[in-house]
Amino acid sequence: MKITQISIYQYHLEWDMVIILGDGSKVTGNTTLIVKVDTDKGITGYSEGGSVGVGTGSCTSILKAGLESMCNELLGEDPLQLGPINDRMNRILNGNMMSKRYIDNACWDILGKASGQSVTTLLGGDRGGSVDVYRLVKKQSDWEKVEDKLRRQTQDGIRYFQLKCGCTPDDVEFVRKVRKLLDNNEILYVDANGSWPLYKAKRVVEDLSDLDIYIEEPCGSYIENLTVRRSTSLPFILDESITDIHSVIRAVNDQACDVVALKVGRLGGLTNTRKARDLCEAAGLGMKAEENGGSNLATSTALALLQSTVPNLRMGLFDFDHMINRMTALNPVQCINGAMRAPTEPGLGLSIDTTLLNNHSLQWTLGGSRK
């Protein structure tokens, strides 16, 4: 099998809520790319992702530039050979893992379709059960709205929540009020997105030490986070500090966290993220997973990873599906009672709404036809 053409679709997704990150910056949506990889056997693979979040190191123009630098060189390559495909991309382009993930994930989709197996099966097999999703808690002055939304979400079966948080006394008090609303079976992540100065981070963590919460990426560097980690008994999550397989190895060796947030895009696709997942499993670390933005296809990609992960180490999936203004798949995965199950159909298991893409997106063909 050979790659004959690579096309890119760009579209903007508006969210039904404003996300306020730990540093106070606001995000209301994201520009997302879908990449389509065609082959000489008539099998097409798709991948999707954006560049949402602190420390992604990418914007849409950088993502497209990275794809443009690789696509012509990948024509004629066998998409089923995931190792050689990644080797080829690394020779062409140093870094820019966010661009490489589009090609890698689309090749996983092709491999699944060609073999008649789901990506979940290819990643190690369905480990059973469903994957819990987690939802964001938005800090706002209208406390009744916060209470009402949390009540509705818990009634819908949501058990995992993430609170984007600053380091002021008001933030500390808000965390306390939210935690009080949740019961003992519900999990709260307090996420700073690396925005807290070290001296404030140690103080905030101390002030919250009596609560049943997880502290997520308080500071902007790995060393600072390790310092905070060693000063608290609260369970600790690393997110932005996890940039590649080497950072996972370092975190395991340093016992720097209890949970790792695996961003498929930031790690360069499922090939690298599977390696990170397997390391975390061996070390007994919990794992969250998500893409850096996107919609249905991005959700299905991260979901396949967690579905093939041992259940007692799954710590939640963040799906952008519940907050976007349009669906890009005809058969998106449904959230039922606070959880999702990965598709069992071949590949990533979704049928892309090509009419929507053609009508509501910008399109480029980056690689011409080579047979």
Q: Is 202 a catalytic residue?
A: no
DSSP readout, 334-347?
A: PPBTTEE----SSB
180 among known catalytic residues: no
Query: Taking the CB of residue 263, how many other CB atoms lie within 10 A of it?
Result: 28
Q: Which amino acid is at 110?
A: I
Query: Is residue 83 classed as helix, strand or coil in its secondary structure?
Result: helix
Cα 124 to Cα 273: distance, rounded to the nearest angstrom:
13
Say how far apart CA 6 and CA 366 lie, in whole Å: 6
Instruction: Find the catalytic residue in 64, 164, 202, 288.
Output: 164
Spell out where the chain has E strands: 3-20, 26-39, 44-49, 131-132, 134-137, 160-164, 187-191, 214-216, 236-238, 259-263, 286-290, 314-317, 339-340, 362-367
Catalytic residue among 263, 275, 288, 371: 263
Antiparallel, parallel or unpaired: β 44-49 and 26-39: antiparallel
Q: Which residues belong to the active site?
A: 164, 263
